Amino acid sequence: MSILSILEPASTTTTRPTVARLVTGSIPATVGSDLLVPLADGRVTDYANFDHGASAPCLESVRASVEAALPSYASVHRGNGYASRITTQWYERAREEVHAFVGARKDDQVIFTRQTTDALNLLSRALPADATVIVFESEHHAALLPWPAERTVRLKAPTSQTDAVTSVADALRQAPEGPRLVVITGASNVTGEIFPIAEIAKVAKAHGARVCLDAAQLAPHRPVDISTLDVDWVALSGHKLYAPYGAGALIGRSDWLDAADPYLYGGGATHAVTEDTVVWTTGPARHEGGSPNVIGAIALASACAAISKHRDAIEQHERSLLARLRTGLAQIDNVTTYSIFGEDADRVGTVCFTIAGLTSTLVSAALSAEYGVGVRDGKFCAHPLVGHLLADSPEHGTAVRASLGLGTTREHVDRLVNAVRTLATSGPRAEYAETAHGCQPSDDPRDLQAPRIW
């Protein structure tokens, strides 16, 4: 079966069920919700997407916004032509939408970036020369690695929310005088657990420190409010917010950003250029050199608007599915789930688990080939945290992550739980071999080559 044939209407051999969404008509629809995928036994089934934590599918409303913007797409800010003026308005209104989405203060900047990693690297470049950074080693690499090593204090993964707050307080008391920045994740990309953001921010402010919140995993699932949380910056990604068009944002205070050299030297970042001097502009344009990703910004704003409108229904949908998933996995022998703060901690829709006797790569391959379930396996760009969580599981160096979202249904959850139960009890049905891309059934009839779509 070719990849192209999967995109055609379902044949009589499909196992696609007719199951309504949990909150029918109340949550935003996603592109690809009718995607069919081949199984190793020759059948096809609808795709059960449990990889939202890596990249979420596009919202239908986001695709519609992008299609509406394309006919008049033009370069922004410096053109008087009709298309340029219209596109400039959309770009700046996108900035306003993102500003409102995170409850930013009136004078906070919204700088469009490529994604969270880019946003945090931008902030790292803007740090005062004598700034000290405090960060937990449980962070995603995007929040762990950008800071100057000689001025960064890495804290051990906390054992509880109280421990997290206490560790930050102790580190701040011992930190040198001068500017200090605490970097904190909103929700762990490994376990989904929510960190005590407001409590850590309160401690930081008591010691004169600033706070940067990595909201990549939190913003798609729960409200983020800069003013209420009292953080100084928020970084997020469009591709995790159902807007996979290459844009993210850094939102927050302007002083360090306006004092720093531009992130990209070039057009748009300049106020005046002579033979001898360059005067850089201030504000978001200072760090948005070159032609910006206008379509990405429009897509991100469209996603923010849709999520804000449907926030209650989204939370209801995800909480119910997560409870169903966690309850199901907890009832299976030889399956271990992992947490930072304990099983009762509040979390978004992510579960990290292993199956005794099976590698995570084999589990993810079997879930895909035999059940049409997509999960992530490995260390999830959070190697220190995964090493900490799996310290008592010497047979496992990596784990499986199931992350649900708007593309997930009850049937998908039940299919994943039943598949894990079968794997834990009987193992995979097929024989698997290691390949350059991981594991694959040794006798795999699926055509996994992706033809050009252009």
The model's pLDDT over 218-235, given as tens digits with 9 standing for 90+, comes to: 999 999 999 999 999 999
pLDDT at 3 over 70: no
Report yes or no: 264 and 287 within 8 Å, Cβ to Cβ: yes
Average pLDDT in the 409-417 region?
98
> Beta 48-49 vs 373-374: how paired, if at all?
parallel
C-alpha torsion 297→299→300→304, nearest 10: 140
- Per-residue pLDDT band for 447 (boundaries 50, 70, 90) equals confident
Tens-place pLDDT, residues 319-375: 999 999 999 999 999 999 999 999 999 999 999 999 999 999 999 999 999 999 999
Contact in structure between 50 and 406 (CB atoms under 8 Å): no
Q: Is the pLDDT of residue 19 over 90?
A: no
Say how far apart CA 95 and CA 337 lie, in whole Å: 39
Rounded to whole angstroms, how far apart are CA atoms 357 and 430?
Answer: 16
pLDDT at 22: 35
Contacts 24+ apart (CB under 8 A), 278-286: 282/254, 282/258, 283/109, 283/254, 283/258, 284/95, 284/109, 284/110, 284/111, 284/112, 285/77, 286/257, 286/258, 286/262
Mean pLDDT, the chain, as a whole number? 93
Check if the beta carbon of residue 30 is closer than 8 Å to that of residue 52: no
Query: What was the pLDDT predicted at 394?
Result: 81
Residues 6+ apart with CB under 8 A from 186: 194, 195, 197, 213, 214, 215, 216, 217, 218, 219, 222, 224
Active site residue: 58, 212, 304, 381, which one?
Answer: 381
- Pair of tokens at residue 104: 């930013």
Q: What is the pLDDT of residue 131?
A: 98
- Residue 69 — φ and ψ, nearest 5°? -85, -25
Name the burial class of residue 13, with classes exposed (0-12), middle (13-18) and buried (19+) by CB atoms within 10 angstroms of its CB. Answer: exposed
Average pLDDT rounded to a whole number, residues 7-31: 50
Helix (H, G, I), strand (E, B) or coil at 378: strand
Q: Is 381 a residue of the active site?
A: yes
pLDDT at 40: 95
What was the pLDDT predicted at 78?
82
Span 65-88, average pLDDT: 95
pTM of this structure: 0.92
Helix ranges restricted to H, 390-443: 410-426
Q: What percent of the chain has pLDDT over 90?
A: 89
**Quick one: residue 185, left, alpha or beta (phi over 0 = left, psi -120 to 50 = alpha)?**
beta
How confident is the model over 297-328, as pLDDT tens digits? 999 999 999 999 999 999 999 999 999 999 99
Q: What are the chain's domains?
A: 36-57+310-441 (3.90.1150.10), 61-306 (3.40.640.10)
Per-residue pLDDT, 12 = 31
Confidence at residue 2, expressed as pLDDT on a 0 to 100 scale: 34
DSSP 8-class letter at 53: T
Average of pLDDT values for 5-33? Answer: 52
Backbone angles phi, psi at 37, to 5 degrees: -130, 150
Residue 20 has pLDDT above 50, yes or no: no
pLDDT value at residue 26 = 87
Contacts of residue 167, defined as CB under 8 A and 6 or more positions apart, other chains included, come to: 136, 155, 156, 158
Q: Which of 85-89, 282-286, 445-449 has the lowest mean pLDDT?
A: 445-449
Least confident range from 70-74, 78-82, 226-230: namely: 78-82
- What does the pLDDT look like over 197-209, one tens digit per residue? 999 999 999 999 9
